[in-house]
Chain A
């Protein structure tokens, strides 16, 4: 299964909004409402920020939101803060006869 496609890097200034895209296929992103997004700071474990396309776990700031159109999912971070600087990965369940999930290659967010 091929990895989902994310931009290698995005940047924004404090207070601004940014969007990270995640492009898959009709066999993964486009087939299920099961896209999730993970934030990872250097040397730390990933943390789920969005699951099932647009649901936010308890404790995650409402500045983080998820959406999807066709085979492309998006993570939007509004009101950028310095602590948002991290790597972000999308993930999707795939259309498999068994079980499979696929990650995107990751996007480095820089807060200028």
Chain B
């Protein structure tokens, strides 16, 4: 079955960087688009970024553009999110998810807390 496991979350000060990972198994990772989405504490879902199956296209929400970078290593079945210049408002549970126009499968999420 499809399994997505996020890691790399933690507490970080504003302005610092963090890299999240999402390990995929149970499907042919290199054949699917992958997303990052997030959910601030007690709030709704927000799409963050998408990467095409081969890494050829990447798109970002305006709220993270120029600060976050999505990437993937198909040889390692792993998705990444490099987060720079973190802000307090980036505090959220970050989920990876498989799909394009909809999110077919989700990981359990990793919590990122940005605080001084």
Residues of chain A at the chain B interface (Cβ within 8 Å): 1, 3, 32, 34, 36, 38, 40, 44-48, 51-52, 57, 89, 91, 93, 98-106
A-chain residues with CB within 8 Å of residue B44 when the two chains form the complex: 3, 89, 103-106
- Given A99-B50, A100-B61, the answer on whether A48 and B45 have CB atoms closer than 8 Å is no
* Chain B contact residues, majority secondary structure: loop
- Comparing B13-21, B22-30, B104-112, the segment that makes contact with chain A is B104-112
Residues of chain B at the chain A interface (Cβ within 8 Å): 44-47, 50, 57, 59, 61-62, 95, 101-109
Give which listed residue, B57, B59, B62, B95, contacts A45 with CB less than 8 A: B95
Query: Is the Cβ of B102 less than 8 Å from the Cβ of A45?
Result: no
Starting from the known contacts A48-B102, A89-B45, 7 additional A-B residue pairs (CB-CB under 8 Å) come to A38-B103, A40-B45, A47-B106, A51-B104, A99-B50, A100-B59, A103-B45
Instruction: Jot down 20 A-B pairs with beta carbons below 8 A, ordered by A.
Output: A3-B44, A34-B102, A38-B103, A44-B108, A45-B106, A45-B107, A45-B109, A46-B103, A51-B104, A52-B102, A89-B45, A91-B103, A98-B59, A99-B57, A99-B59, A100-B59, A101-B47, A103-B46, A103-B47, A106-B44
